[in-house]
Structure 1
Amino acid sequence: MRPTSKTLRIAAGLIFATASAGSAAQAASDAARDAERTLRAGDSALQVSVIGVDDARRRAQLQDWLAEVAQAQLTAFGRYPLHSARVRIEQVAREAARDDESPVPWGQTLRRGDTAVLLFVRDDATPAELRADWTAIHELSHLFHPYMGRDGRWLSEGLASYYQNVLRARAGLLTPERAWELLDAGFGRGRRESSGAPLVELSRTHEGTMRVYWAGAAFWLQADVALRRDHATSLDAVLSKYSDCCLSGTGETAPAKFIAELDRLSGTKVFSSNYARLVQSRAFPPLDAVYRELGIMRRGDALAFDEGAESAALRRSIMRGAAEPAPAR
């Protein structure tokens, strides 16, 4: 879920307007155009609905935006992680989102009955603003993992926070350098949370949001680097295997069970060793060693990048991805 300073309270009435009498057939046809699209990649599909938007041009804009975001998701392993999931897009007036000026002030992933990603878009958000926003790919990235309850919130929000930058870089929505800068800025926000509470406690109580999200992202970055450096695999590849064998859009999986399964699928202890160290930690995890591996250095307030062959190759492999994505259509 997108973290916000206040909860945006919107009644999500997902109901299509009925066509007026006298031209019902034509009106229904016009309203349906771009109100529903299905994006397919292999045997997986996203069913995308634009709700309550009468303007045909705006419906097409919103559908095109979501298709580009979905294409970024495919850079992980060439298909959507679930066989089928829904995306619902609704508009809200700027006044309703006055505590959040972002183009997509609220997003949520629901797992009741089936799996649905809900995105609430500001009605005056331009296509360029939507394209630059991170909320949609963050929410779509929640489809890579099972629901893990409150104890696993740091894992789930961390994975979405990691991938919201990595996948956009792979799809050309960000430069790789900008993606690293955004990750680094997030880690900085996480470090500033100073309650001293265990990470799992913050996860349960929905407190310390920045440490929950960005310590979680640090966990997945560390795992991805270790897998690529030492085991000739990647986080993408392990999650692809998990998608094949074990991923369900609904139900709940204990965090430790998810971690154990990732260890089994990777043939390593990369996930469990980091999990055991971090779950009860009271401070943000150190990233100096990972930054050295990646050739990322700090120059004042900016980042610099070592172009030495080994570190540059590792860094680029993360932002490039290994899979050739299947086209969304």
Structure 2
Amino acid sequence: MRPSRSMRIAAGLALAGAAVVGVAQAPAPDAERTLRAGDTELRVSVIGVDDARRRRQLQDWLAEVAHAQLTAFGRYPLHSARVRIEQVDREEARGDESPVPWGQTLRRGDAAVLLFVRDDASLVELRADWTAIHELSHLFHPYLGRDGRWLSEGLASYYQNVLRARAGLLSPERAWELLEAGFGRGRRESSGAPLIELSREHEGTMRVYWAGAAFWLQADVALRRDHASSLDAVLSQYSACCLRGTGEVAPAEFLSELDRLSGTTVFSANYARFVQSREFPSVDGVYRDLGITRRGDALVFGDEGRAAALRRAITAPFTATAGEGMKSAAGTPR
């Protein structure tokens, strides 16, 4: 879910309910599109938009975002999921100037990503926004409840930058800068409360989101550095064996399964260290592993050696084998 937005949650939930129920009037044919990758699909609906050109624009934008999601492991994490896009005007957005003022992933009956787009947002603005890929990234994990909020929002916050870099929507350097900016916001949360408490009580949003992102970054680096694996590879295995679009999984159970699939203790060991932490975790060690140093407020990226290769591998896109990749319902590669 997009954090710290001025649109009120109650208003957002009311809109979400309306989107799930749908409208009595049949949608225009071009308001519905199914994106396919192998045997997985995203069913994308544009709701209540009368302008055919705008419907196509929103569909094409979402297809580009969905392509970024495919850079994790070449297919969508769920066999089938829905995406619903609805427009809001500035008054409904309550002064929120972002192109996508609100988004949420729901798991009622099936998995659905809801995106509320400002009706005057340009395609350039939409392509620069992170909300859609953040919400799609929630489909990589099961619902983890309040105790796992920091894990779920952390994974989406990590992938919202990494996947956009892989898809060419950001430069790799900009992706790392955005992650560092998020870590900076997390460090400024100084309540001293345990991370698990902030997660349960929906407090300390910036530490919850960005400490979570640091958790997944550290796990990804450890898998790549020491185990010839990656976060992508382990989540791909989890998707194939265990991921359901609905239902709740306890955080410890989810991470234990990731350990089993990876043949490591990377996830559970980090969990024990993070969950009771009272301050933002240091990322200095993982930055050294990636050849990243701080110079004032800027990041400096090493160009040579294993560290640079490891860093570049994280933002390198998945390479589909013959016959794989994203296709529209008509079978046309996108």
TM-score computed with the length of structure 1 as normaliser: 0.94
Deviation at 1:202, TM superposition (A): 0.2
**Deviation per CA, 1:98-155, whole angstroms, max 9, x where unpaired?**
3421000000000011110000000000000000000000000000000010000000
Equivalence for 1:102: 98
Corresponding position of 2:326: 327
**What amino acid is aligned across from residue 327 of structure 1 in structure 2?**
M
Q: Does 1:146 align with 2:145?
A: no
The answer on whether the counterparts of 1:72 and 1:168 sit within 8 Å (CA) in structure 2 is yes
Q: CA deviation at 1:323?
A: 4.0
2:64 is aligned to: 68
2:311 is the alignment partner of 1:315? yes
Amino acid at match of 1:90: E
Q: Does 1:120 align with 2:116?
A: yes
Gaps of at least 5 residues in structure 1 are 19-27
SS for the counterpart of 2:91 is helix
1:34 Cα shift? Answer: 1.8
Residue 17 of structure 1 and its aligned partner are, at CA, apart by 6.2
Structure 1 position 295 matched with structure 2 position 294: no
1:137-183 deviations in whole A, cap 9, x for unaligned?
Answer: 00000000000100000000000000000000000000000000000
Question: What is the aligned counterpart of 1:158 among 131, 142, 154?
Answer: 154
Matched-pair contact (CA < 8 Å) for 2:84–2:115: yes
How many Å apart are 1:308 and its aligned residue? Answer: 1.7
Deviations 1:278-327 (A, max 9, x none): 00110111111100110111112111101122111000000004443712
Match of 1:22 in 2: none
Who is 2:80 aligned against? 84
Greater than 6 Å deviation, 4+ residue runs? none
* Equivalent AA in structure 1 for residue 60 of structure 2: D
Tell whether the 8 Å contact from 2:167 to 2:317 is kept in structure 1 after alignment.
Answer: no
Amino acid at match of 1:105: P
Tell me what 1:232 maps to.
Answer: 228
**Distance in 2 between the 1:309 and 1:321 partners?**
20
Residues 54-101 of structure 1, C-alpha deviations (whole Å, 9 max, x = no match): 110000000000000000000000000000000000000012213421
**Partner AA of 1:150 in structure 2:** R
| Structure 2 counterpart SS, 1:214 | helix
Match of 2:34 among 34, 38, 61: 38
User: Is it true that 1:195 corresponds to 2:194 in the alignment?
Assistant: no
After superposition, the CA RMSD in angstroms is 1.2
Across the two proteins, how many residue pairs are aligned to each other? 318
Give the residue type in structure 2 aligned to 1:114: D
Deviations 1:256-280 (A, max 9, x none): 0000000000000111110000001
Could you tell me which runs of 5 or more consecutive residues in structure 2 were left unpaired when the two chains were aligned: 329-334
Please list, as runs of the form range in 1=range in 2, the aligned pairs for 1:189-268 lying within 5 A after superposition. 189-268=185-264
Relative distance call for 1:110 and 1:275 in structure 2 (3 A) is same
1:277 and 2:277 are equivalent in the alignment: no
- Counterpart code for 1:233: S
What CA distance in whole angstroms lies between the structure 1 residues aligned with 2:111 and 2:254?
18
8 Å Cα contact 1:4-1:100 kept in structure 2: no
After superposing the two structures, state which structure 1 stretch, 299-308 or 168-177, moved more: 299-308
What TM-score results when the alignment is normalised by the length of structure 2?
A: 0.93
Deviation at 1:244, TM superposition (A): 0.5
CA distance in 2, matches of 1:5, 1:40: 32
